[in-house]
Amino acid sequence: MKQTACPICYEPSNRGHTKLFVLGNEHQYQIRECSHCKSVYTFFDIETDMQAYYEDENYKLRNTHKSIFYRIQAYEYKQVIRHIQKSITPKHPFLLDFGSGKGLFLYFAKQSGFDVKGVETSIPRADYAKATFQLTIHTDYYTEGKIFDESFDVITCFHVLEHLSDPKNLLRNLVAANLKEGGLLLIEVPNFSSWQSKWAGKYWLHLDAPRHLSHFTPLRLKSMIEHIGYTVIKEKYFSFHLGIIGMMQTLFSFFGYQRSLIIDMKEKRSLGLLIGIIIAFPIALLLECIASLIKKGGIIRYYALKNQKTI
């Protein structure tokens, strides 16, 4: 695929879009800001095999069951589940996780009594979720219409929208056909206007071009959610596993580090890396806590409800 227009408002890139960064050895990817709607996106005009990017080393399926990552994610997901239970009436709702990955969030939601289903187009990840957690996962590529027979009380999208070529349209179709009246929509994406993004620039962990096609700010994400008829009722900007690691990588980037900290933590556990992490962790934690208070944390997590029709 190529991406030569704004994925949110479709305005062509040649209409004065601002070039923010140039990435890649051959300068093949650019981060641009749309002059019309101010959305930030990855521009590339060379035909790119996206499938290959999803099969490369950085995206390989790893069994992290019972690892430190697993424990941190478990803690974080259980908090999200409590927030969902506080936000809607059914305490054991039907929940659809769109882009369910290895099924970890669905597993914890199921443990809390939710009736859960997932959508995941990566077959190895979907198979892992089915085999490890006995989950029901739909694997077809979604464009529109109903996915399962039932409608859902909650739809969650963790780190999905930034990967889509037409995120607003897909989100509109997804909730219109699959979310019940009064249902809750939960969206989490990386925060392009976070401190960790601004400080690391093109070395930000969550820039991840070209897999990330859009780079959302709170303002742009909220505007997109409102545009499809939903209102944000709760917002969070703090994530233990993605926010802190993102900030640690930003701190490392000040010393010339240009690799992915997530991959290195999983595969290259050298003494130097361990010492670096021990030193950086408390600083990253403190900075992320302060940043998230002023909407500058590494992620944006919005809980949204459909706008009430006025008579």
The reply to whether 219 sits near Zn ion by the rule CB under 5 A is: no
Cβ(237)–Cβ(295) under 8 Å?
yes
The reply to whether 293 sits near Zn ion by the rule CB under 5 A is: no
The reply to whether 36 sits near Zn ion by the rule CB under 5 A is: yes
The reply to whether 6 sits near Zn ion by the rule CB under 5 A is: yes
Stretch of 1-9, 77-85, 108-116, 188-196 lying at the interface with Zn ion (CB under 5 A): 1-9
CB of 212 or CB of 306, closer to Zn ion: 212
Cβ(165)–Cβ(1) under 8 Å?
yes
* Contact with Zn ion (CB under 5 A) among 1, 4, 9, 16: 9
Going by C-alpha positions, the residue among 185, 172, 285, 197 that lies closest to residue 235 is 185
Cβ(113)–Cβ(95) under 8 Å?
no
Residue with tokens 């500058």, as numbered in its chain: 296
CB of 36 or CB of 266, closer to Zn ion: 36
Q: Least distance (Å) from Zn ion to the CB of residue 97?
A: 28
CB of 9 or CB of 274, closer to Zn ion: 9
For the chain, how long is the longest CA-to-CA vector?
Answer: 65
Cβ(145)–Cβ(173) under 8 Å?
yes
Stretch of 29-37, 86-94, 126-134, 142-150 lying at the interface with Zn ion (CB under 5 A): 29-37
Angle at the Cα of 224 (from 221 to 225), degrees rounded to 5? Answer: 85
The reply to whether 39 sits near Zn ion by the rule CB under 5 A is: yes
Cα separation of 203 and 284, whole Å? 16
* Contact with Zn ion (CB under 5 A) among 5, 13, 33, 34: 34
Binding to Zn ion by CB under 5 A, coded x per residue (else -) over 149-168, reads --------------------
Q: Least distance (Å) from Zn ion to the CB of residue 103?
A: 34
User: Ramachandran region of residue 106, left (φ > 0), alpha (ψ -120 to 50) or beta?
Assistant: alpha
The reply to whether 274 sits near Zn ion by the rule CB under 5 A is: no
Answer whether the bond into residue 190 is a cis peptide, omega within 30°.
no
The reply to whether 37 sits near Zn ion by the rule CB under 5 A is: yes
The reply to whether 232 sits near Zn ion by the rule CB under 5 A is: no
Going by C-alpha positions, the residue among 87, 110, 88, 90 that lies closest to residue 100 is 110
The reply to whether 221 sits near Zn ion by the rule CB under 5 A is: no
**What is the binding site for Zn ion (CB under 5 A)?**
6, 8-9, 11, 34, 36-37, 39
